[in-house]
Amino acid sequence: MKIKAYIIIFGLLTFSWSCQEETKPIDISSEDYHQMVDKVTEVMVHDIFSPPVASRIYVYPNIAAYETLNQNSKSYKSLANQLNGLKDITPEKVNINKNLRLAALIAYLNVAKELVFSKEKITSYRDSLYAIWETNNLAEYNNAKGYGLAISEQIINWMQDDQYAETRTMPDYNIYTDDPSQWEPTPPAYMKGIEPHWNKLRPFVLDSASQFKPVPHPKFSLQEDSEFYKELMEVYNITNAIRKKGDDCEEIEIARFWDCNPFVSVNKGHFMFAEKKITPGAHWIGICKIACQQTNADFEKTVYAYTKTSIAIADAFISCWDEKYRSNLIRPETLINKYIDTEWTPILQTPPFPEYTSGHSVVSGASSEVLTEIFSDNFVFDDTTELPYGLPMRSFKSFRLAAKEAATSRLYGSIHYRAAIDVGLEQGIKLGYLVNNNLSFLK
């Protein structure tokens, strides 16, 4: 009997030791975070979110992940009491040995699923990861999950006070006006103005949507010697000159590379459908990913880079949209078709909102300044962001040069006057300076 008892005890101990050997810490890398951001981008493209709304979908999950990582970090500071309206974060009291990287991923997904239409896509992706983590180390997973959800719920509560929900019930932009300078819907879909109340959202770092109110655009005039008319004719003449070069010329390649218009309507016979693309903010999020991977940034720096970049992008849209619906400037396409050439069409499809200032210019200026501060000036990189959408890679010697090309692309695309591009880029650069100087991330 004693021999049998020893055998049973030995067997139980052997089973216990083997279980302990199979239970390993859950290893989370920066690539896991990149994949998560890519998944959210994929869902946003599927749901066809407008550029301003897409910026909101990026920023809150990144902040949730950042705050989950950095409540007691030796290297990074919490953004509580730095971002508008974000008060002290109260960490959940869980085991001190929690896996913060894992908790950050859980926090990111918990916020992201609240921001998209296709919640089931995020939930399915989340559940597949949960199943893997549970299998690998149930105790570590549960501990991290409790912490990540606790932090992310506080971010969600803060997020819900940003006035986004209130703007969903506000009236559409009124296109009925006798003012010839005012924006009108453009072909082929003649869509209504997108997000006319975006300036009412709570900004993140800006003291108000109008903090960097740009100088007025050149006074509207169809007199041939006026500055405005000269800019209008510049768009017309450049487009005609580009078309003579052919579809494979560099100007058209640049225009298409930076198009990032999620509202492109394609006509096939009697049918019209949307050609799905990323937004300008998503393009710069993609550049952030490239910089992180190229420098082998660790998990913590990767989350920091995404968070800071997405904050700059979000405030850039609030700042730009504030001016767009203040000036309500008419697009070149409308004026050229009315007064110059009824057969003329732009290189790119005109986006459905007023012209001044250029959203690409503002977002690119802000993003490039933030990324330059994180990764240094003269950062040489190959931009492969558009490869999934059938566009070739372009190479840049710095983020600032990429931003300048992105801004200029709007002239090559025939959808902006020069003032909107130049002033918009300056507007974005000022915003990037503000984010760099007013937010303290590093200890």
The predicted-structure confidence for 76-94, as pLDDT tens digits, reads as follows 999 999 999 999 998 766 5
Give the other-Cβ count within 10 Å of 104's Cβ. 31
Give 67's Cβ-side CA count (13 Å radius): 32
Alpha helix stretches (DSSP H) within 376-438: 399-412, 418-438
Domain parsing of the chain, residue ranges: 23-165, 173-438
For the stretch 195-206, what's the b/e string if a residue is b when 16 or more beta carbons lie within 10 angstroms of its beta carbon?
Answer: bbbbbbbbbbbb
Q: Cβ neighbours of residue 435 under 8 Å, at least 6 residues apart?
A: 205, 308, 311, 312, 315, 366, 369, 370
Q: What is the Cα–Cα distance from 295 to 123, expressed in whole angstroms? A: 31
* CATH number for the domain running over 23-165: 1.20.144
What is the identity of the amino acid at 292?
C
Q: Give the pLDDT of residue 175.
A: 73
The residue written with tokens 């004026």 in the block is 335
Partnered with residue 265 across adjacent β-strands are 274
Q: Right CATH number for 173-438 from 1.10.606.20, 3.30.565.10, 1.10.3720.10, 3.90.79.10? A: 1.10.606.20
Q: Give the pLDDT of residue 27.
A: 96
- Digit-coded pLDDT (tens) for 371-389: 999 999 999 999 999 999 8
**DSSP β-ladder status, 381-383 and 271-275:** unpaired
Torsion angle of C-alpha atoms 189, 190, 193, 195, degrees rounded to 10? -10
Give yes or no on whether 23-165 and 173-438 have one common fold: no
Helix/strand/coil percent split, the chain, to 5: 55, 5, 40
Partnered with residue 400 across adjacent β-strands are none
Give the other-Cβ count within 10 Å of 273's Cβ. 10
Ranges of the chain whose pLDDT falls below 70: 1-22, 92-96, 265-276
Residue-by-residue DSSP string for 271-323: EEEEE----HHHHHHHHHHHHHHHTT--HHHHHHHHHHHHHHHHHHHHHHHHH
| pTM for this entry | 0.93
Closest CA to 151 of 192, 120, 108, 203: 108
Q: What is the Cα–Cα distance from 198 to 3, expressed in whole angstroms? A: 78
Give 335's Cβ-side CA count (13 Å radius): 27
Q: What are phi and psi of 383, to 5 degrees?
A: -90, 105
For the stretch 262-271, what's the b/e string if a residue is b when 16 or more beta carbons lie within 10 angstroms of its beta carbon?
Answer: bbbbeeeeee
